[in-house]
Amino acid sequence: MTVDFTKLAVQGVQGLRAYQPGKPIDELAREYGLNESDIVKLASNENPMGPSDKALAAIQGELSDLTRYPDGNGFELKSALTKKLKISADQITLGNGSSDILEFIVKCFVSQGDQVIVSQHAFAIYGLVTKMVGGEIVQVPAKNWGHDLPAMAAAITDKTKIIFVTNPNNPTGTWNTKSQLESFLKQVPEHVIVLLDEAYFEYVDEADYPSGIDYLSQYANLVVTRTFSKAYGLASLRVGYGVSSPELADLMNRVRPPFNVDSFALAAAVACVNDEAYVRQSKELNDEGMRQLQAGFEQLNLAWIPSVGNFICFEIPGRAMDIYQGLLEAGVIVRPVGNYEMPDHLRVSFGTQDENQTFLLKLKHLLS
Protein backbone atom coordinates (compact mmCIF):
# COMPACT_ATOMS: atom_id res chain seq x y z
CA MET A 1 0.00 0.00 0.00
CA THR A 2 1.27 3.40 -0.88
CA VAL A 3 0.59 6.37 1.33
CA ASP A 4 -1.52 9.29 0.05
CA PHE A 5 0.51 12.11 1.53
CA THR A 6 -1.81 14.74 0.07
CA LYS A 7 -4.57 13.41 2.31
CA LEU A 8 -2.20 13.60 5.28
CA ALA A 9 -1.21 17.21 4.60
CA VAL A 10 -2.88 19.92 6.69
CA GLN A 11 -6.22 20.96 5.24
CA GLY A 12 -5.10 24.43 4.15
CA VAL A 13 -2.29 22.98 2.06
CA GLN A 14 -4.50 20.34 0.44
CA GLY A 15 -6.54 23.04 -1.29
CA LEU A 16 -3.54 25.12 -2.47
CA ARG A 17 -2.11 25.46 -5.92
CA ALA A 18 1.55 26.44 -6.25
CA TYR A 19 2.24 30.07 -7.22
CA GLN A 20 2.71 30.41 -10.98
CA PRO A 21 5.70 32.67 -11.66
CA GLY A 22 6.48 34.24 -15.04
CA LYS A 23 8.10 31.72 -17.37
CA PRO A 24 11.90 31.82 -16.98
CA ILE A 25 13.98 32.60 -20.08
CA ASP A 26 15.95 29.33 -20.03
CA GLU A 27 12.74 27.30 -19.77
CA LEU A 28 11.29 28.94 -22.89
CA ALA A 29 14.61 28.45 -24.70
CA ARG A 30 14.52 24.72 -23.87
CA GLU A 31 10.87 24.26 -24.80
CA TYR A 32 10.93 26.08 -28.14
CA GLY A 33 14.56 25.62 -29.16
CA LEU A 34 15.20 29.37 -29.05
CA ASN A 35 18.42 31.19 -28.19
CA GLU A 36 18.29 32.72 -24.73
CA SER A 37 19.72 35.93 -26.13
CA ASP A 38 16.77 36.26 -28.55
CA ILE A 39 14.18 36.01 -25.78
CA VAL A 40 12.50 39.06 -24.30
CA LYS A 41 11.05 38.52 -20.82
CA LEU A 42 8.48 41.09 -19.76
CA ALA A 43 6.61 38.81 -17.37
CA SER A 44 7.73 39.46 -13.80
CA ASN A 45 7.99 43.23 -13.36
CA GLU A 46 11.76 42.97 -13.23
CA ASN A 47 14.08 45.94 -13.63
CA PRO A 48 15.31 46.03 -17.26
CA MET A 49 18.27 48.28 -16.50
CA GLY A 50 20.72 45.64 -15.35
CA PRO A 51 22.30 45.48 -11.89
CA SER A 52 23.87 48.51 -10.24
CA ASP A 53 27.69 48.52 -10.01
CA LYS A 54 27.35 49.21 -6.29
CA ALA A 55 25.42 45.96 -5.83
CA LEU A 56 27.98 43.97 -7.82
CA ALA A 57 30.88 45.39 -5.82
CA ALA A 58 29.11 44.71 -2.52
CA ILE A 59 28.49 41.08 -3.48
CA GLN A 60 32.12 40.67 -4.50
CA GLY A 61 33.15 41.98 -1.09
CA GLU A 62 31.12 39.31 0.68
CA LEU A 63 32.61 36.32 -1.16
CA SER A 64 35.46 35.79 1.31
CA ASP A 65 32.93 35.32 4.15
CA LEU A 66 31.03 32.59 2.37
CA THR A 67 31.54 30.15 5.25
CA ARG A 68 29.92 32.47 7.81
CA TYR A 69 26.23 32.82 8.60
CA PRO A 70 24.79 36.19 7.64
CA ASP A 71 24.01 38.81 10.29
CA GLY A 72 20.68 37.45 11.50
CA ASN A 73 19.63 40.89 12.73
CA GLY A 74 20.65 42.75 9.58
CA PHE A 75 22.20 45.52 11.68
CA GLU A 76 23.68 47.55 8.83
CA LEU A 77 20.65 47.40 6.60
CA LYS A 78 18.38 48.34 9.47
CA SER A 79 20.67 51.27 10.37
CA ALA A 80 20.54 52.53 6.80
CA LEU A 81 16.75 52.18 6.70
CA THR A 82 16.25 54.00 10.02
CA LYS A 83 18.11 57.03 8.63
CA LYS A 84 16.40 56.94 5.27
CA LEU A 85 12.86 56.48 6.56
CA LYS A 86 13.18 58.28 9.92
CA ILE A 87 12.01 55.26 11.87
CA SER A 88 13.62 53.17 14.61
CA ALA A 89 15.31 49.81 14.10
CA ASP A 90 12.76 48.02 16.28
CA GLN A 91 10.07 48.88 13.72
CA ILE A 92 11.76 46.87 10.96
CA THR A 93 11.28 43.24 9.93
CA LEU A 94 13.61 42.04 7.19
CA GLY A 95 12.34 39.57 4.63
CA ASN A 96 13.63 37.20 1.98
CA GLY A 97 11.80 39.47 -0.42
CA SER A 98 8.87 41.45 0.93
CA SER A 99 6.74 38.35 0.24
CA ASP A 100 8.26 36.97 3.45
CA ILE A 101 6.62 39.75 5.48
CA LEU A 102 3.20 38.92 4.02
CA GLU A 103 3.64 35.38 5.29
CA PHE A 104 4.93 36.47 8.73
CA ILE A 105 1.98 38.72 9.44
CA VAL A 106 -0.45 35.94 8.49
CA LYS A 107 1.42 33.41 10.65
CA CYS A 108 1.21 35.78 13.61
CA PHE A 109 -2.51 36.50 13.40
CA VAL A 110 -4.45 34.02 11.28
CA SER A 111 -5.60 30.54 12.15
CA GLN A 112 -8.38 28.19 11.05
CA GLY A 113 -11.64 30.06 10.48
CA ASP A 114 -10.20 33.60 10.58
CA GLN A 115 -10.88 35.98 7.71
CA VAL A 116 -8.49 38.03 5.60
CA ILE A 117 -9.86 40.74 3.29
CA VAL A 118 -8.37 41.36 -0.16
CA SER A 119 -9.53 43.19 -3.25
CA GLN A 120 -10.55 41.40 -6.43
CA HIS A 121 -7.53 41.29 -8.81
CA ALA A 122 -5.11 41.48 -5.83
CA PHE A 123 -1.64 39.91 -5.71
CA ALA A 124 -1.90 36.09 -5.54
CA ILE A 125 0.50 35.63 -2.61
CA TYR A 126 -2.05 37.02 -0.10
CA GLY A 127 -4.45 34.18 -0.84
CA LEU A 128 -1.69 31.60 -0.82
CA VAL A 129 -0.27 32.49 2.60
CA THR A 130 -3.76 32.84 4.11
CA LYS A 131 -5.10 29.51 2.88
CA MET A 132 -1.88 27.81 3.93
CA VAL A 133 -2.80 28.37 7.58
CA GLY A 134 -6.50 27.58 7.14
CA GLY A 135 -7.67 31.21 6.89
CA GLU A 136 -10.57 32.32 4.74
CA ILE A 137 -10.11 34.89 1.97
CA VAL A 138 -12.89 37.46 1.69
CA GLN A 139 -12.60 39.04 -1.73
CA VAL A 140 -14.18 42.46 -2.26
CA PRO A 141 -15.19 43.40 -5.83
CA ALA A 142 -12.85 45.91 -7.47
CA LYS A 143 -14.02 49.34 -8.63
CA ASN A 144 -12.62 50.38 -12.04
CA TRP A 145 -10.08 47.53 -11.59
CA GLY A 146 -8.78 49.11 -8.35
CA HIS A 147 -9.30 48.67 -4.61
CA ASP A 148 -12.71 49.84 -3.38
CA LEU A 149 -11.47 50.82 0.08
CA PRO A 150 -14.87 51.81 1.56
CA ALA A 151 -16.27 48.43 0.48
CA MET A 152 -13.24 46.67 1.96
CA ALA A 153 -13.77 48.44 5.29
CA ALA A 154 -17.46 47.51 5.15
CA ALA A 155 -16.50 43.83 4.71
CA ILE A 156 -14.90 43.67 8.18
CA THR A 157 -16.53 41.12 10.51
CA ASP A 158 -15.74 39.70 13.96
CA LYS A 159 -13.51 37.18 12.22
CA THR A 160 -11.40 39.67 10.26
CA LYS A 161 -7.71 39.61 11.23
CA ILE A 162 -5.90 41.30 8.34
CA ILE A 163 -6.73 43.50 5.34
CA PHE A 164 -4.25 43.53 2.47
CA VAL A 165 -4.04 46.80 0.53
CA THR A 166 -1.67 47.04 -2.44
CA ASN A 167 -0.75 50.54 -3.55
CA PRO A 168 -0.25 50.50 -6.45
CA ASN A 169 -1.81 47.12 -7.12
CA ASN A 170 -0.24 44.33 -9.12
CA PRO A 171 -1.43 43.24 -11.73
CA THR A 172 -3.83 46.15 -12.41
CA GLY A 173 -1.44 49.07 -11.73
CA THR A 174 -4.28 50.98 -10.03
CA TRP A 175 -3.67 53.14 -6.94
CA ASN A 176 -5.42 54.82 -4.04
CA THR A 177 -5.07 58.48 -3.07
CA LYS A 178 -4.04 59.97 0.28
CA SER A 179 -7.59 60.89 1.22
CA GLN A 180 -8.91 57.44 0.25
CA LEU A 181 -6.25 55.74 2.37
CA GLU A 182 -6.77 58.13 5.29
CA SER A 183 -10.51 57.59 5.51
CA PHE A 184 -9.95 53.85 5.20
CA LEU A 185 -7.40 53.73 8.05
CA LYS A 186 -9.80 55.73 10.21
CA GLN A 187 -12.57 53.22 9.60
CA VAL A 188 -10.58 50.08 10.37
CA PRO A 189 -10.87 49.02 14.04
CA GLU A 190 -7.59 49.06 15.96
CA HIS A 191 -7.46 45.29 16.39
CA VAL A 192 -7.55 44.59 12.63
CA ILE A 193 -4.15 44.67 10.91
CA VAL A 194 -3.76 46.64 7.68
CA LEU A 195 -0.89 45.41 5.52
CA LEU A 196 -0.07 48.10 2.98
CA ASP A 197 2.07 46.56 0.22
CA GLU A 198 4.16 49.26 -1.48
CA ALA A 199 6.32 47.08 -3.75
CA TYR A 200 6.11 49.68 -6.54
CA PHE A 201 6.36 52.78 -4.32
CA GLU A 202 9.40 54.24 -6.10
CA TYR A 203 7.68 54.32 -9.50
CA VAL A 204 4.77 56.51 -8.45
CA ASP A 205 5.00 60.30 -8.57
CA GLU A 206 1.35 61.35 -8.48
CA ALA A 207 1.08 64.25 -6.00
CA ASP A 208 -1.86 62.58 -4.31
CA TYR A 209 -0.07 59.26 -3.74
CA PRO A 210 0.44 58.49 -0.04
CA SER A 211 3.55 57.04 1.61
CA GLY A 212 2.40 54.48 4.17
CA ILE A 213 5.37 55.30 6.41
CA ASP A 214 3.72 58.67 7.21
CA TYR A 215 0.81 56.94 8.95
CA LEU A 216 2.75 54.57 11.21
CA SER A 217 2.84 56.99 14.14
CA GLN A 218 -0.96 57.20 14.13
CA TYR A 219 -1.80 53.55 13.45
CA ALA A 220 -0.24 50.77 15.53
CA ASN A 221 -2.17 48.23 13.40
CA LEU A 222 -0.41 49.27 10.16
CA VAL A 223 2.39 47.32 8.44
CA VAL A 224 4.03 48.83 5.35
CA THR A 225 6.10 46.58 3.08
CA ARG A 226 8.69 47.64 0.51
CA THR A 227 11.18 45.73 -1.59
CA PHE A 228 14.56 45.90 -3.33
CA SER A 229 13.21 43.64 -6.10
CA LYS A 230 11.71 46.25 -8.38
CA ALA A 231 13.07 49.82 -8.66
CA TYR A 232 16.35 48.80 -6.94
CA GLY A 233 16.89 45.96 -9.40
CA LEU A 234 17.78 43.21 -6.89
CA ALA A 235 14.98 40.67 -7.51
CA SER A 236 17.34 37.71 -7.67
CA LEU A 237 18.77 38.39 -4.21
CA ARG A 238 15.40 38.33 -2.38
CA VAL A 239 15.38 41.21 0.06
CA GLY A 240 12.52 43.38 1.29
CA TYR A 241 11.17 44.65 4.60
CA GLY A 242 8.19 45.55 6.70
CA VAL A 243 7.88 48.70 8.81
CA SER A 244 5.35 48.77 11.64
CA SER A 245 4.88 49.48 15.32
CA PRO A 246 7.66 47.88 17.40
CA GLU A 247 5.10 45.47 18.86
CA LEU A 248 4.06 44.08 15.47
CA ALA A 249 7.70 43.96 14.34
CA ASP A 250 8.59 41.99 17.48
CA LEU A 251 5.85 39.45 16.73
CA MET A 252 6.91 39.08 13.10
CA ASN A 253 10.54 38.67 14.10
CA ARG A 254 9.49 35.74 16.33
CA VAL A 255 8.23 33.78 13.30
CA ARG A 256 11.00 34.95 10.95
CA PRO A 257 13.53 32.20 10.16
CA PRO A 258 16.82 33.26 11.82
CA PHE A 259 18.92 33.82 8.68
CA ASN A 260 16.23 34.57 6.15
CA VAL A 261 18.22 37.26 4.29
CA ASP A 262 21.65 36.13 3.09
CA SER A 263 24.90 38.12 3.28
CA PHE A 264 24.93 39.02 -0.42
CA ALA A 265 21.41 40.37 -0.28
CA LEU A 266 22.14 42.34 2.89
CA ALA A 267 25.36 43.82 1.50
CA ALA A 268 23.81 44.71 -1.86
CA ALA A 269 20.78 46.29 -0.19
CA VAL A 270 23.03 48.39 2.08
CA ALA A 271 25.03 49.49 -0.97
CA CYS A 272 21.89 50.41 -2.94
CA VAL A 273 19.45 51.77 -0.38
CA ASN A 274 20.67 55.34 -0.90
CA ASP A 275 21.46 55.00 -4.60
CA GLU A 276 19.01 57.68 -5.69
CA ALA A 277 20.63 57.90 -9.13
CA TYR A 278 19.89 54.24 -9.93
CA VAL A 279 16.29 54.55 -8.77
CA ARG A 280 15.82 57.79 -10.73
CA GLN A 281 17.17 56.15 -13.88
CA SER A 282 14.91 53.13 -13.32
CA LYS A 283 11.98 55.46 -13.02
CA GLU A 284 12.92 57.42 -16.17
CA LEU A 285 13.33 54.24 -18.20
CA ASN A 286 10.00 53.07 -16.83
CA ASP A 287 8.26 56.32 -17.81
CA GLU A 288 9.64 55.96 -21.33
CA GLY A 289 8.38 52.37 -21.48
CA MET A 290 4.97 53.52 -20.30
CA ARG A 291 4.78 56.12 -23.11
CA GLN A 292 6.12 53.70 -25.72
CA LEU A 293 3.67 50.92 -24.91
CA GLN A 294 0.66 53.20 -24.55
CA ALA A 295 1.42 54.72 -27.96
CA GLY A 296 1.80 51.19 -29.35
CA PHE A 297 -1.52 50.01 -27.87
CA GLU A 298 -3.23 53.08 -29.25
CA GLN A 299 -1.93 52.31 -32.74
CA LEU A 300 -3.13 48.72 -32.41
CA ASN A 301 -6.50 49.87 -31.09
CA LEU A 302 -6.07 47.98 -27.83
CA ALA A 303 -7.54 49.17 -24.54
CA TRP A 304 -5.35 49.20 -21.41
CA ILE A 305 -5.82 49.80 -17.70
CA PRO A 306 -4.09 53.05 -16.62
CA SER A 307 -1.11 52.01 -14.48
CA VAL A 308 1.42 53.71 -12.21
CA GLY A 309 3.61 50.61 -11.83
CA ASN A 310 6.37 49.14 -14.00
CA PHE A 311 3.82 47.06 -15.92
CA ILE A 312 0.49 47.49 -17.67
CA CYS A 313 -2.49 45.28 -18.52
CA PHE A 314 -3.88 45.46 -22.04
CA GLU A 315 -7.10 43.93 -23.31
CA ILE A 316 -7.61 41.47 -26.17
CA PRO A 317 -11.18 40.20 -25.77
CA GLY A 318 -11.45 36.45 -26.28
CA ARG A 319 -7.87 36.08 -27.51
CA ALA A 320 -5.60 36.69 -24.53
CA MET A 321 -4.32 33.11 -24.24
CA ASP A 322 -3.84 32.78 -28.03
CA ILE A 323 -1.83 35.96 -28.10
CA TYR A 324 0.15 34.89 -25.01
CA GLN A 325 1.00 31.61 -26.76
CA GLY A 326 1.84 33.37 -30.04
CA LEU A 327 4.15 35.78 -28.23
CA LEU A 328 5.87 32.87 -26.45
CA GLU A 329 6.55 31.15 -29.77
CA ALA A 330 7.98 34.45 -31.02
CA GLY A 331 10.29 34.59 -27.98
CA VAL A 332 8.40 37.21 -25.95
CA ILE A 333 7.22 36.27 -22.46
CA VAL A 334 4.34 38.27 -20.95
CA ARG A 335 1.99 37.31 -18.13
CA PRO A 336 -1.50 35.83 -18.47
CA VAL A 337 -3.80 37.12 -15.71
CA GLY A 338 -6.75 34.73 -16.04
CA ASN A 339 -6.04 33.53 -12.49
CA TYR A 340 -6.62 37.15 -11.38
CA GLU A 341 -10.13 37.06 -12.89
CA MET A 342 -8.87 38.99 -15.90
CA PRO A 343 -9.20 36.43 -18.72
CA ASP A 344 -9.25 39.07 -21.48
CA HIS A 345 -6.07 40.85 -20.38
CA LEU A 346 -2.34 40.24 -20.51
CA ARG A 347 0.15 41.99 -18.24
CA VAL A 348 3.39 43.24 -19.75
CA SER A 349 6.30 44.72 -17.78
CA PHE A 350 8.14 47.68 -19.27
CA GLY A 351 11.53 46.65 -20.66
CA THR A 352 14.28 48.53 -22.44
CA GLN A 353 13.28 50.51 -25.49
CA ASP A 354 14.43 47.63 -27.75
CA GLU A 355 12.58 45.01 -25.73
CA ASN A 356 9.40 47.08 -25.81
CA GLN A 357 9.78 47.55 -29.56
CA THR A 358 10.22 43.80 -30.12
CA PHE A 359 7.12 43.10 -28.05
CA LEU A 360 5.04 45.63 -30.00
CA LEU A 361 6.23 44.32 -33.38
CA LYS A 362 5.43 40.68 -32.49
CA LEU A 363 2.09 41.71 -31.06
CA LYS A 364 1.21 43.67 -34.20
CA HIS A 365 2.14 40.68 -36.34
CA LEU A 366 -0.10 38.36 -34.28
CA LEU A 367 -3.03 40.77 -34.45
CA SER A 368 -2.88 41.40 -38.20
Ligand X SMILES: *Cc1c(COP(=O)(O)O)cnc(C)c1O
Alpha carbon distance 164, 196 (integer Å) = 6
Q: Does 170 bind ligand X (CB under 6 A)?
A: yes
DSSP 197: E
Among 34, 137, 235, 255, contact with ligand X (rule: CB under 6 A): 235
**Min. distance of Cβ 126 from ligand X in angstroms?**
9
Specify the DSSP element, H or E, that contains 225.
Answer: strand 222-227
Among 25, 28, 43, 45, contact with ligand X (rule: CB under 6 A): 45
What are residue 138's DSSP bridge partners?
117
The region that residue 341 occupies, defined by phi over 0 for left and psi between -120 and 50 for alpha, beta otherwise, is left
**Beta pairing class for 160-166 and 115-119:** parallel
Specify the DSSP element, H or E, that contains 227.
Answer: strand 222-227
Among 118, 153, 162, 199, contact with ligand X (rule: CB under 6 A): 199
* Residue 63 three-state SS: helix
Residue 136 dihedral angles phi and psi, to the nearest 5° = -110, 130
Among 148, 197, 202, 355, contact with ligand X (rule: CB under 6 A): 197
Q: Does 229 bind ligand X (CB under 6 A)?
A: yes
Q: Does 310 bind ligand X (CB under 6 A)?
A: no
Q: How many residues bind ligand X (CB under 6 A)?
A: 14
Q: Hey, which bits of 265-367 come out as E strands?
A: 304-305, 311-315, 332-333, 335-336, 345-349
Q: Does 349 bind ligand X (CB under 6 A)?
A: no
Surface-to-core class of residue 211, CB atoms within 10 Å of its CB (0-12 exposed, 13-18 middle, 19+ buried): middle
Q: Does 160 bind ligand X (CB under 6 A)?
A: no
Nearer to ligand X, 149 or 330 (CB): 149
What are residue 196's DSSP bridge partners?
165, 224
Q: Does 166 bind ligand X (CB under 6 A)?
A: yes
**Min. distance of Cβ 186 from ligand X in angstroms?**
24
Do 152 and 119 touch, CB atoms closer than 8 A? yes
Alpha carbon distance 57, 65 (integer Å) = 14
Q: Does 148 bind ligand X (CB under 6 A)?
A: no
Among 47, 98, 160, 263, contact with ligand X (rule: CB under 6 A): 98
Among 123, 201, 219, 264, contact with ligand X (rule: CB under 6 A): 123
Helices (H), 133-219: 149-154, 178-187
Among 135, 240, 289, 296, contact with ligand X (rule: CB under 6 A): 240
Nearer to ligand X, 296 or 309 (CB): 309
**Min. distance of Cβ 226 from ligand X in angstroms?**
8
**Min. distance of Cβ 21 from ligand X in angstroms?**
11
**Min. distance of Cβ 269 from ligand X in angstroms?**
11
Considering only 20-28, 207-215, 225-233, 320-328, which stretch makes contact with ligand X by CB under 6 A?
A: 225-233
Alpha carbon distance 173, 167 (integer Å) = 8
**Min. distance of Cβ 332 from ligand X in angstroms?**
20
Among 91, 93, 99, 253, contact with ligand X (rule: CB under 6 A): 99
Which residue number has the CB closest to ligand X? 97
Alpha carbon distance 333, 29 (integer Å) = 11
Q: Within positions 268 to 307, which residues make up the interface with ligand X, using CB under 6 A?
A: none
Do 166 and 175 touch, CB atoms closer than 8 A? no
Interaction site with ligand X (CB under 6 A): 45, 97-99, 123, 166, 170, 197, 199, 227, 229-230, 235, 240
